[in-house]
Structure 1
Amino acid sequence: MIEVKRVADSGMMKEFIMLPWKAKIYEHDPAWVPPLISVQKEMFDRRKGYFFEIGEAEFFLAYREGVPVGRITAHVNRLYEEKYDRETGFFGFFESINDDGVAQSLFHAASSWLEQRGKKIMNGPQSFSIYDSVGFEVEGADKMPTVGLYHFAPYYKDLAETCGFIKCIDWHCFLVERIHYDRHAPYLNEVKNSLLNSTDVQFKTLEMKDIMKRAREVQHIFNTAWEGNWGHLPLTDKQMEMIFRQLRALVIPDFAIFAEKGEKTVGFIISVPDVNPCLRILNGRRYPWRMLRFLRAMKNTKRVRSIIMGVLPEYRGQHIDDIFYLKSIEVGLRLDIWESDCSMIAETNLRMLRALKPLTSDPYKTYRIFQRPIDAA
């Protein structure tokens, strides 16, 4: 018999966080990168987590014979309601053994909670927002994701479809290999210099003493530049603070590039090393002996991900984004980077997909956000 319970105390929250380990969902899955337990504790803390300033969430655990076998959150987002509609609610942080009954029980609990709040559609996974971990992998689930992305058990998409979910939207991940850059390096350098000579925009790299000042600039530019993109919601102060606290440990100053016109910052691009293979060493915990191995492994990282970028709308069409890409390539070549991850790109972003076509092949990974009517529960 399957029993679903609301997470009611700290002991149950510990069970919620530790479920992927305790239920052995990823025991033999080399693509899984265990999340940092301390980060999840902060996200789920109603006093500290950024989401609880803009939304409401409930946590559920599924038990079979007293043993936790699955988990899910149900949540509503006030920013989403103000910007898009008041009929859509969300599920996230889904984990389950490969059992249709467990999955259906979890989805039913989340759906019922959302129905009580007037929702008619359940969308997900979004854990918690569009700029956190979203979508189940429908392609490339055998490959380890890049930093900032999450790997789900390959059977989750099947559980979702069995439980009545249909596709909402796909997000693609691409890898651009160094060989494409090496082949065209002299030409790319010539193009970069030509573009730099034709603009009065200045390009500067990050000084670590200015990182929080830059965080405020990034927040303003990102929220403005991404307006109109699928599912976009503005980053809050608390959300941006969380992002930059995590980036501080990863960022390489030369890979954080800012465009300035006079005294005004008009664009940025930030790339970070792919530390996911190294994070596997930590297995969720920052024990000192694991941290030493993690730091040693980081020195051998050969992949980066351009994790966040934006140019103010009034400065588009001035090749600022092209210069960002070319300067990032220059840094990557100098630091002996082999691959650059470009993700996640919505299937509706045709301009970006066309721009990547000459540099890479098909996506190496695709995430799908699903949805179903609440009354399908």
Structure 2
Amino acid sequence: MSVVIKQVKDSDSLKKFVKFGIDLYEGNECFVPPLIYDERATLNMSKNPSFEHCDASYFLAYRGEEIVGRIGVIINHKSNEKWKQKNARFGFVDFVDDAEVVDALFGAAESWARSRGMEKIHGPLGFTDMDHEGMLIEGFDRMGTMATIYNYPYYPQHMERMGYVKEQDWVEFLIQIPKEVPERIERISEVVKQRFGLVEKRFERKSEVYPYAREIFHLINKAYKDLFGYVELTEKQIDYYVEMYIPMLRLEFLSVVLRQHDNKMVGVGIGLPSMSEALRKAKGKFLPTGWIHLYKALKGIGKNSKVLDLLLVAIDPEYQGKGVNALLIKRFISSAIELGMEVAESNVELETNSKVQSLWDGFDVEQHKRRRCFIKEL
């Protein structure tokens, strides 16, 4: 039976688009599903402020009545303007191991992009760097995280077969949490605080974070602006992410470093107890019982309570390379030790970003996953 491509045009087909990305991995012990509600919101033009400067379309592949693949294609006009490119992005891509299906899906995405004047297509990428990005090419036997994509080993094989090549890689590290804060980190932290007049802001309640929330994202914009593919978040996007992420915070793993004399934020680090097992139990659904698993994970209850997910570190360029990262790491380690955690997941780091990888110097680390952004001329 031949493959038929259908464009997603209504809420029912969008729901099928999201659900296929979960159903394909049923029984896979490494896959961590997203929450269906959150993914639908990301893809919804009326909810995601990225559509102020992005166009997108989504396609489903069918064999008869059965869905066998999906792909999203995005044009981020702000990114193309910043980086002086004419690139489309593909993302939210999943498929069975069938060349006819894969060729039909990517053919639809490439045709859509080509008809809009694009010269290249690359991905997996989302609307922003806050979305999942990078196709897994190493570490298929490792549990995923809430912040990353999992895919089967046959995915990159099909990409190479279709003529896609490496544009950029991200690496991930598994870091053993030491029994105590290393003396080197303690010493550097004190020196840096004294030399630059820095203090760490502690929060007792989440309500205290909101006055700093927008500044956190402004700092992320400033720190990440020159990294591969990054596009600074707009004020509406910042509002969107503040509403999404601040309620999820564990304050023990929020480290904010301020310059004492003017209260300027110069560094931020955010982590969470691993949500992977909770999301697997929830199977993409917050209700009726998914919220219970997520709540327990946030509170550090469950078999994955020994794992810390390091979600982001951002340091003002003026202070990069001056030891501010030691303050952030000290907070992470101290809190992790107090809660009995044993390992930390770094999540994605550009393989070329030696500054962020230097954070793990002196620790017992394993580079256990690698993912790739593929690119192809249209």
TM over 0.5: yes
Would the aligned equivalents of 1:250 and 1:273 in 2 still touch at CA under 8 Å? no
Match of 1:363 in 2: 367
Q: 2:3 aligned with 1:6, yes or no?
A: no
Match of 2:287 in 1: 287
Q: CA deviation at 1:51?
A: 2.2
Match of 2:126 in 1: 127
Match of 1:222 in 2: 220
Distance in 2 of aligned mates of 1:315 and 1:193: 15
Distance in 2 of aligned mates of 1:163 and 1:242: 36
Q: 2:312 aligned with 1:308, yes or no?
A: yes
Match of 1:61 in 2: 60
Would the aligned equivalents of 1:100 and 1:162 in 2 still touch at CA under 8 Å? no
Match of 1:278 in 2: 278
Q: TM-score, normalised by structure 2?
A: 0.91
Q: CA deviation at 1:198?
A: 4.2
User: What SS does the aligned partner of 1:223 have?
Assistant: helix
Q: Residues 153-232 of structure 1 correspond to what in structure 2 (within 5 A)?
A: 153-178=152-177, 181-182=178-179, 185-186=182-183, 188-206=185-203, 207-232=205-230
Distance in 2 of aligned mates of 1:341 and 1:155: 24
* Total equivalences in the alignment: 370
Q: 2:336 aligned with 1:332, yes or no?
A: yes
Deviations 1:76-125 (CA, angstroms, capped at 9, x unpaired): 00111111123211111001111111001000000000001111111011
Which one is further off, 308-317 or 124-133?
308-317
Would the aligned equivalents of 2:32 and 2:146 in 1 still touch at CA under 8 Å? no
Q: Residues 135-154 of structure 1 correspond to what in structure 2 (within 5 A)?
A: 135-154=134-153
Distance in 1 of aligned mates of 2:286 and 2:184: 44
User: What SS does the aligned partner of 1:174 have?
Assistant: strand
Would the aligned equivalents of 1:167 and 1:370 in 2 still touch at CA under 8 Å? yes
Cα distance, 1:238–1:272 mapped onto 2, change above 3 Å: farther
Identity of aligned residues (%): 26
User: What SS does the aligned partner of 1:127 have?
Assistant: coil
Deviations 1:173-224 (CA, angstroms, capped at 9, x unpaired): 001112xx22764554344344444442111123411333222111111111
5+ residue gaps, structure 2: none
Q: CA deviation at 1:29?
A: 1.0
Would the aligned equivalents of 1:88 and 1:121 in 2 still touch at CA under 8 Å? yes
Which one is further off, 114-123 or 304-313?
304-313
Distance in 1 of aligned mates of 2:63 and 2:287: 32
Which one is further off, 108-117 or 6-15?
6-15
Deviations 1:252-303 (CA, angstroms, capped at 9, x unpaired): 1121111112232222111111111111111011123343344345413121
Q: Residues 76-91 of structure 1 correspond to what in structure 2 (within 5 A)?
A: 76-91=75-90
User: What SS does the aligned partner of 1:271 have?
Assistant: strand
Cα distance, 1:194–1:175 mapped onto 2, change above 3 Å: same
Would the aligned equivalents of 1:205 and 1:255 in 2 still touch at CA under 8 Å? no
Deviations 1:45-64 (CA, angstroms, capped at 9, x unpaired): 11111321220000111111
Would the aligned equivalents of 2:170 and 2:371 in 1 still touch at CA under 8 Å? yes
Distance in 1 of aligned mates of 2:210 and 2:296: 27
Q: Which amino acid aligns with 1:146?
A: T
Match of 1:255 in 2: 253
Would the aligned equivalents of 1:88 and 1:119 in 2 still touch at CA under 8 Å? yes
Q: Which amino acid aligns with 1:118?
A: G
Q: Which amino acid aligns with 2:126?
A: S
Would the aligned equivalents of 1:94 and 1:125 in 2 still touch at CA under 8 Å? yes
Q: 2:353 aligned with 1:352, yes or no?
A: no
Cα distance, 1:15–1:176 mapped onto 2, change above 3 Å: same
User: What SS does the aligned partner of 2:209 have?
Assistant: helix
Match of 2:347 in 1: 343
Distance in 1 of aligned mates of 2:320 and 2:362: 22
Distance in 2 of aligned mates of 1:255 and 1:183: 16
Match of 2:45 in 1: 46
Q: CA deviation at 1:149?
A: 1.4
Would the aligned equivalents of 2:78 and 2:231 in 1 still touch at CA under 8 Å? yes
Q: TM-score, normalised by structure 1?
A: 0.91
User: What SS does the aligned partner of 2:238 have?
Assistant: helix
Cα distance, 1:209–1:327 mapped onto 2, change above 3 Å: same
Q: Which amino acid aligns with 1:257?
A: S
User: What SS does the aligned partner of 1:359 have?
Assistant: coil
User: What SS does the aligned partner of 1:138 have?
Assistant: strand
Would the aligned equivalents of 2:181 and 2:334 in 1 still touch at CA under 8 Å? no
Would the aligned equivalents of 1:100 and 1:163 in 2 still touch at CA under 8 Å? no
Match of 1:109 in 2: 108
